[in-house]
Amino acid sequence: MVVAVDKELKAVRNQLLKMGYEVIDPEENVAADAYIYSAKINGGFNNLVKANNDGCLIINADINSMDKILYTLSNRIYTPLF
């Protein structure tokens, strides 16, 4: 699974790398299965991420624990926006 993670989220990036995920920068022109961002650091969701054919999970690291992020990635589910 390819996961785009904001550069500022070093702990999240390192944990995902240790677990065998392919971690990329959101600015790379590579299709990602998921995008993990921080609204606190970036001032809001303002990056465009290239998705694969199945779509792209978008996860806010500010409101999700590492366990919740890992659960979301492994099960490809996330709570609805509305």
> What are 1-48's pLDDT values in tens digits?
999 999 999 999 999 999 999 999 988 888 899 999 998 876 555 555
Instruction: Tell the residue number behind the tokens 């465009």, with chain if given.
Output: 48
* Banded model confidence at residue 79, pLDDT cuts 50, 70, 90: low
The structure tokens listed for 67 are 């366990």
Handedness of CA 20, 26, 27, 33 (dihedral sign): positive
The reported pTM is 0.82
Can you tell me the distance from the alpha carbon of 8 to that of 28, in angstroms, rounded to the nearest whole number? 15
